Amino acid sequence: MPETAIAAPEALLRVEDLKIHFPIYDGLFRRKVGDVKAVDGVSFEIKRGETLGLVGESGCGKSTTGRAVLRLYDPTAGAVNFEDRDIASLPANEMRAMRPRMQMIFQDPQASLNPRMTVGAIIAEPLMEHTKMSAGERKDKVAELLDQVGLSRDFINRFPHEFSGGQRQRIGIARALALDPDLIVCDEPIAALDVSIQAQVVNLLEDLQHRLGLTYLFISHDLSMVRHIADRVAVMYLGKIMELAPMGKLFASPRHPYTQALLSAVPVADPKIEANRKRVILTGDVPSPANPPEGCVFCTRCPLAKKTNDKRCFTIPPEWREIEQDQFVACHLAE
C-alpha cells in the first residue's frame, strides 16, 4: 500500500464558502441581467482516503461543485484548498503541475471517450500530456491500467463503440488513474448503467480506493448507492449544502427537513415496507437558481416551515450548525 494511505487522516481537500455564479445576459445588447447561483456558499472537507457523497436533485449544483474542485471553473468567491494550497488562485503553470493529482470520472462514458481514438490512445493521452514517458513505457503503463480495471490487454487497439456501457466506464476509470491521482471526482459514474452492471463498477471503485488510497468525491442522485459507498454525505439543494453527516447518521436519523423528504422518496424493493411507508411528498418545484427564495432556500417547499410558519425561515438564511457530533445542518428549526 502506498504511504499516503497510512498517513493520519488529514483533509486532502477543504472547500470554503465556494460560489460559482454564471452570468445571464439579455439577448440584444448582451447586458448582464443577473446570475445563475449554481453554487452559492458551499463548504466541506474530504480526508485522505475518504469518500464524500454529494447528493441532491438535478440542477442543485453537484456537477458545478465537482468541476470547481478541479478548477474547471474559476470560482466567483471562496477557496478550494488542496493540501492547504488554494488552487482557485494558483497561476496557470502551477495549476498544470497540480492537475495530474485530481481527476474526474463522468456519467456518460460514451460521450466522454473520443470515438475516433483507440482504447490504448485514450488511456495514454494524459501520459503524453503530463509525463516524459517513452512510447514503450507508456505501452506498459496502459497494459497495467487495463489490468487494474479488469479489462483484457487485447482491447488496446479497439474503439469505444465496440464496448458495452460498463466496459466503457472501465476505460474512463483507467484513463483517470493514468497519472496516479490522489483525488477523483466521480460525477454520476453509474447513472447510465444497468443495475447488474452498476454493482460491478462500484465494486471496482471500492477495490481501487483500498489498493491505491484514493480519495473520492462521489456525486450521485442514487441515495442507496451513496449509502453503500460513502463515509460521509453532503445533501445539496439550490446551490447550498443543507446537511452534512457521517453516512450512518444521515440515513438513520436525518435532521434537515429536505434530507428527510429526499430519503422518504426513495423507493425500497420490498412490497411490505412500501405498503406501510409514510412519504413526505414535497409539493411545487425547485425555484430557479437565478432567483432563489429569501431566507432559507428550501422555505418554499419545506413542510416544517409550512407547518410552523416561522418568520425566520422566510427572511433569514439559516446558520450552519452542528446539531449533533459531526452532523451539520442549515435549518432554523431542525432538532
Partner 1 sequence: MAVGTVRSSKVSAELENAAPVLSVENLETVFLTSEGAVHAVNGVSFSLQPGELLGIVGESGSGKSVTMMSLLKLLPMPPAEIRSGTVGFDGKDLLQVDQQELRAIRGGDIGFIFQDPMTSLNPVFTVGFQIMEPLRMHLGLNKANARKRAAELLELVGIPSASQRLRDYPHQFSGGMRQRVMIAIALACDPKVLIADEATTALDVTVQAQIIELIKDLREKLGMAIIWITHDLGVVAGIADRVAVMYGGQIVEYASVAELYDDPRHPYTKALLQTLPRHEGDRMERLVSIPGQAPNLSGPLQACPFAPRCESAHDRCRQENPPLFEVSPVQKSRCWLEDQEVVNA
Ligand X SMILES: Nc1ncnc2c1ncn2[C@@H]1O[C@H](COP(=O)(O)OP(=O)(O)O)[C@@H](O)[C@H]1O
Closest residue to Mg ion, based on beta-carbon distance:
63
| Cell representation of residue 107 | 456519467
Q: Is 194 left (phi over 0), alpha (psi -120 to 50) or beta?
A: beta
Give the separation between CA 20 and CA 125, rounded to whole angstroms: 29
Given Mg ion, ligand X, partner 1, none, residue 64, with its beta carbon under 5 to 8 Å by kind, binds ligand X
Which of 38, 244 has the CB closer to ligand X? 38
Contact 236, 242 (CB under 8 A): yes
Question: Which amino acid, one-letter code, is at 157?
Answer: N
Which of 39, 122 has the CB closer to ligand X? 39
x/- track of binding to Mg ion for residues 54-93 (CB under 5 A): ---------x------------------------------
Which of 15, 304 has the CB closer to ligand SF4? 304
Under rule CB under 6 A, which residues in 64-93 are in contact with ligand X? 64
Q: Closest by alpha carbon to 62, among 190, 265, 217? A: 217
Contact 246, 254 (CB under 8 A): no
Q: Closest by alpha carbon to 138, among 122, 149, 150? A: 122
Give the DSSP H or E segment for 42: strand 32-47
Under rule CB under 6 A, which residues in 297-326 are in contact with ligand X? none
Q: Which of 49, 53, 239, 257 forms a contact with ligand SF4 (CB under 6 A)?
A: 257
Binding piece for ligand SF4, criterion CB under 6 A, among 1-9, 24-32, 195-203, 292-300: 292-300
Question: Which amino acid, one-letter code, is at 100?
Answer: P
Q: Can you give the binding site for partner 1, defined by CB under 8 A?
A: 57-58, 164, 166, 194-200, 202-203, 206, 221, 223-225, 227-228, 251-252, 261-262, 264-279, 281-283, 285-286
Place of cell 452542528: 322
The verdict on 299 binding ligand SF4 (CB under 6 A) reads yes
Q: Which of 21, 48, 62, 175 forms a contact with ligand X (CB under 6 A)?
A: 62
Give the separation between CA 171 and CA 222, rounded to whole angstroms: 22
The verdict on 262 binding ligand SF4 (CB under 6 A) reads no
